[in-house]
Amino acid sequence: MSDKKIAVEVLSKSFVRNRTSMPVVDNVSFSVASGEFVAIVGPSGCGKSTLMNIIAGFERPDAGRVLIDGTPQTGPSKNGIVISQYGSVFPWLTVRENLMFGLEDENRGQTPKNKTGGSPQDRADHYAAMVGLKGFEKSYPHELSGGMLKRVELARALVVKPEILYMDEPFSALDALMNLRMRNELLRILAEERHTVLLITHDVEEAVHMANRIMVLGPRPTSIQATFEVPFAHPRKLSDPAVQALREEILGELGVET
């Protein structure tokens, strides 16, 4: 991987609180290659989400810039989709209709054709099945469990075939077992479909389980404190001593004793 999909160049950002400037992001620079899965971990409140919002184009930095495929990012673009901890499933639409919503907006009423020549409904149903929701296409969100709702959100992000997935604590609201299942689900899908992924998380185990590279942020105003390559192929066993050793090294970098 030598091509830079995302290039972050000396980003800085401050907010004004009670007439006082509060620095949040301080001279952050890194790049993400096409098809790479990079996780960013750091203490709560250090500025992880602010950094993600700048990279995804939802906030402007005070200094520095973000380039996507070599082009400066000036706002949100259709080649990137955000999956957050808060959820964005429309409660008045069925699973199928939620998935088709992005397709209709993407194509402005035209009938999109995927590479198999399918209609929007075919494409929506394909991704519903891909995340394990076959048979629930006509169900409404209130009829689904929390884990199933996360699957709808994941499918809705994937159905528009984004080049970049921006994931901000996507599974933090799930219990430990469902969190693990959703991680495995996403890894299975990423093995079939190529996406560049930038994950923000406070969960070091989640980062070690999924990412190719992990960056550790320091306290606010945040900057990159350390970077760790993850040399283990997928699927990874979290019980593997080498995986556990890397987890403990990253926790040590964060000042957490194990």
pLDDT in tens, 41-78: 998 888 899 999 999 999 999 999 999 999 999 888 87
Q: Before 91, cis peptide (omega within 30)?
A: no
> What is the pLDDT at residue 63?
95
Going by their DSSP bridges, the two strands 4-17 and 63-68 should be labelled as: antiparallel
pLDDT, one tens digit per residue, over 20-42 is 888 999 999 999 999 999 999 99
Please write the tens of the pLDDT for every residue from 160-191: 888 999 999 888 877 888 888 888 888 988 88
pLDDT score of 97: 92
Q: Which residues pair with 13 in a beta bridge?
A: 25
Percentage of residues in the chain with pLDDT exceeding 70? 93
Predicted pLDDT of residue 255: 85
CATH code that applies to domain 4-253: 3.40.50.300
113 to 33, 99, 120, 138, 162: CA distances (angstroms): 28, 15, 7, 22, 16
The confidence score (pLDDT) of residue 6 equals 95
Q: How would you write the chain as a 3-class SS string?
A: CCCEEEEEEEEEEEEEECCEEEEEEEEEEEEEECCCEEEEECCCCCCHHHHHHHHHCCCCCCEEEEEECCEECCCCCCCEEEEECCCCCCCCCCHHHHHHHHHHHHHCCCCCCCCCCCCHHHHHHHHHHHCCCCCCCCCCHHHCCHHHHHHHHHHHHHHCCCCEEEEECCCCCCCHHHHHHHHHHHHHHHHHCCCEEEEEECCHHHHHHHCCEEEEECCCCECEEEEEECCCCCCCCCCCHHHHHHHHHHHHHCCCCC
pLDDT of residue 105: 52
Q: Supply the pLDDT for residue 112.
A: 40
Taking 50 as the threshold, does the pLDDT of residue 114 lie above it? Answer: no
Q: Compute φ and ψ for 205, nearest 5 degrees.
A: -60, -40
Q: Does residue 107 surpass a pLDDT of 80?
A: no
